């Protein structure tokens, strides 16, 4: 087992990884920017190294600085968390070249899944269902031909894309030139490659993702799904498991398909397969090769510590259990609490004047905030995750309502009121929502012409 792990991240996830290490008897090294000298992950770690100025590109994305910190402190592994360098294959390769273990899949697997076109190809070969799609598009004419072959509406995506950037939808031949040209231009500006391809556009899907764990010996389990359809601007807001849209049999079916595919690909460590789900069918979109923000939802219903499993797997341990040992229990919901204006979503950094997190049975708060903490303006605005777990979805919703009410955060605006509003909507309560529901709900609230029923 590793003796010392460097945590190449900040915020709640740095703390989350530290906690797993501590419970495993592994020492931790925090890295931090100049703006994060007073952060909780720095205080709790055994050692801390300042890796550069506040801007992420100078610190948390600074590969040589992070690797130097690992060498100086004698860390034998690096956990990248999520975001930052977590899906950067060049970083993983550099880490491994220095004889340090990157806690994640192999460099090849990261490259395969980081490219949408090769990921799609691997998924098809491994038996995963996908939308109809094209190979890389060479010209507008090529795009028009493929669009007619697939049938409108279609969506053009960048091979290196993610987070919705460089995606353009076309509903007819009239839109195709603009969609192709714009997608290509956006890809060129934002990503290393401007290669784009096309898929059939699904108009009202849910976003349902499957969590998997695989060791280096071909053992694979799936840990069920997370429904992440409550989102805005490609930012997830609420996640839950199980999905209100799936029954027991559908879960078993997609679970087995995913398990076999992961075994066939030979993937190892923790991973998430993102699907769109519409009219009872799943369509593979992409695979995330990192720990995800919403992983605690899965931990709640399975009792499995995903970070400990990532570390054990990276150290060469066997899973030690099979699919039939995985028991799904109850229902879990996560709310992402951001320091933002809840109407406009404009970030609201500042000093936390008062902080009181909820507790009690079935309530987990992952956060590195404390009273008096100054939220720096340089990073993501998520300041806490509230996760509730209870026997049924209704019980979880009652618990979530209670926990949100207990939460006290003074000094900055947060998205807590937004969460309270969402979970009192009849569609949310009934589980009747797709990926567009939140944006439509926000619009209807802000539109003076519409009857708000107040
Ligand atoms: C799609 C789609 C509809 N049809 N692909 C957005 C980000 C990227 N991960 C994939 N995305 C989408 N791909 C097809 N063929 C709709 C989206 C999409 C979306 C997906 C998941 C969660 C939120 C979303 C918001 C807008 C669009």
Q: How does pLDDT run across 72-114, given as a tens digit for each residue? A: 999 999 999 999 999 999 999 999 999 999 999 999 999 999 9
* pTM of the entire predicted model: 0.97
Alpha-carbon distances of 341 from 36, 191, 349, 412, rounded to whole Å: 23, 30, 10, 9
Q: How far apart are CA 39 and CA 115, in angstroms?
A: 34
CA of 33 to the centre of ligand 1 (A): 33
Atom of ligand 1 nearest to the CA of 286: 9
Q: Residues 415-433: pLDDT tens digits?
A: 999 999 999 999 999 999 9
Give me the architecture of the 4-103 domain, per CATH: 3-Layer(aba) Sandwich (3.40)
Q: Whose CA is nearest to atom 10 of ligand 1?
A: 164
Q: How far apart are CA 257 and CA 235, in angstroms?
A: 27
Ligand 1 mutation target, pool 129, 167, 196, 282, most atoms within 8 A of CB:
167
CA of 237 to the centre of ligand 1 (A): 15
Is the minimum distance from the CB of 234 to ligand 1 under 6 angstroms? yes
Atom of ligand 1 nearest to the CA of 274: 9
Is the minimum distance from the CB of 199 to ligand 1 under 6 angstroms? yes
Q: Whose CA is nearest to atom 7 of ligand 1?
A: 164
Supply the residues annotated as catalytic: 290
Contact 297, 226 (CB under 8 A): yes
What is the DSSP code (8-state) at residue 367? E
Contact 208, 226 (CB under 8 A): yes
Q: Residues 385-423: pLDDT tens digits?
A: 999 999 999 999 999 999 999 999 999 999 999 999 999
Q: Whose CA is nearest to atom 20 of ligand 1?
A: 207
Is the minimum distance from the CB of 201 to ligand 1 under 6 angstroms? yes
Contact 336, 399 (CB under 8 A): no
Is the minimum distance from the CB of 272 to ligand 1 under 6 angstroms? no
pLDDT at 392: 98
Q: How far apart are CA 26 and CA 103, in angstroms?
A: 14
Is the minimum distance from the CB of 285 to ligand 1 under 6 angstroms? yes
Q: Whose CA is nearest to atom 16 of ligand 1?
A: 202
Pick from 380, 391, 392, 382: nearest CA to 337: 382
CA of 270 to the centre of ligand 1 (A): 22
Domain ranges in the chain are 4-103, 132-200, 206-445
Ligand 1 mutation target, pool 117, 123, 233, 285, most atoms within 8 A of CB:
285
pLDDT at 454: 41
Q: How far apart are CA 223 and CA 244, in angstroms?
A: 16
Give me the architecture of the 132-200 domain, per CATH: 2-Layer Sandwich (3.30)
Is CATH 3.30.470.20 the classification given to domain 206-445?
yes
Q: Whose CA is nearest to atom 17 of ligand 1?
A: 164
273 pairs with which residues across the strands?
A: 210, 287
Alpha-carbon distances of 331 from 26, 156, 298, 356, 366, rounded to whole Å: 31, 36, 9, 25, 18
What stretches in the chain show pLDDT beneath 70? 448-454
Q: How far apart are CA 82 and CA 136, in angstroms?
A: 28
pLDDT at 279: 97
Is the minimum distance from the CB of 434 to ligand 1 under 6 angstroms? no
Q: How far apart are CA 237 and CA 435, in angstroms?
A: 11
Atom of ligand 1 nearest to the CA of 154: 15
Is the minimum distance from the CB of 231 to ligand 1 under 6 angstroms? yes
């Amino acid at each position: 087992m590793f003796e010392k792990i460097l945590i190449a991240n900040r915020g709640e996830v740095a703390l989350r990884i530290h906690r797993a290490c501590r419970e495993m008897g592994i020492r931790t090294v925090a890295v931090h920017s100049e703006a994060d000298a007073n952060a909780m992950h720095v205080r709790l770690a055994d050692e801390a190294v300042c890796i550069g100025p506040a801007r992420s590109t100078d610190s948390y994305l600074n590969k040589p600085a992070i690797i130097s910190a690992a060498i100086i402190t004698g860390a034998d592994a690096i956990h990248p968390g999520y975001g930052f360098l977590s899906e950067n294959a060049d970083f993983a390769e550099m880490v491994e070249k220095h004889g340090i273990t990157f806690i994640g899949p192999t460099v090849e697997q990261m490259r395969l899944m980081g490219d949408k076109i090769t990921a799609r190809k691997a998924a098809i070969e491994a038996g995963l269902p996908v939308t109809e799609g094209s190979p890389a598009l060479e010209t507008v004419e090529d795009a028009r031909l493929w669009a007619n072959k697939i049938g409108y509406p279609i969506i053009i995506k960048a091979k290196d894309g993610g987070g919705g950037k460089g995606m353009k939808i076309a509903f007819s031949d009239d839109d195709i030139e603009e969609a192709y040209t714009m997608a290509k231009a956006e890809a060129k500006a934002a990503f290393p490659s401007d290669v784009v391809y096309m898929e059939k556009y699904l108009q009202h899907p849910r976003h349902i993702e499957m969590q998997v764990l695989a060791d280096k010996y071909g053992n694979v389990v799936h840990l069920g799904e997370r429904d992440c359809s409550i989102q805005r601007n490609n930012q997830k807001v609420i996640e839950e498991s199980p999905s209100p849209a799936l029954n027991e049999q559908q879960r078993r079916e997609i679970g087995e398909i995913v398990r076999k595919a992961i075994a066939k690909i030979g993937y190892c460590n923790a991973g998430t397969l993102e699907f769109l789900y519409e009219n009872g069918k799943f369509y593979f979109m992409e695979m995330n090769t990192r720990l995800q923000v919403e992983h605690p939802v899965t931990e709640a219903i399975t009792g499995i510590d995903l970070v400990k499993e990532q570390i054990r797997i990276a150290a060469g341990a066997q899973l030690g259990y099979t699919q039939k040992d995985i028991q799904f229990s109850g229902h879990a919901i996560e709310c992402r609490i951001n320091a933002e204006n809840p109407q406009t979503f404009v970030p609201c950094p500042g000093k936390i004047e008062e902080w009181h997190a909820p507790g009690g049975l079935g309530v987990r708060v992952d956060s590195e905030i404390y009273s008096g903490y100054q939220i720096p303006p340089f990073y993501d605005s998520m300041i806490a995750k509230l996760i509730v777990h209870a026997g049924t979805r209704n019980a979880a919703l009652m618990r979530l309502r209670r926990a949100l009410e207990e939460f006290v955060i003074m000094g900055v605006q947060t998205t807590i009121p937004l969460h309270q509003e969402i979970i009192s909507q009849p569609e949310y309560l009934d589980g009747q929502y797709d990926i567009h529901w939140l944006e439509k709900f926000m619009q209807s609230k802000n539109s003076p012409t519409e009857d708000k029923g107040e």
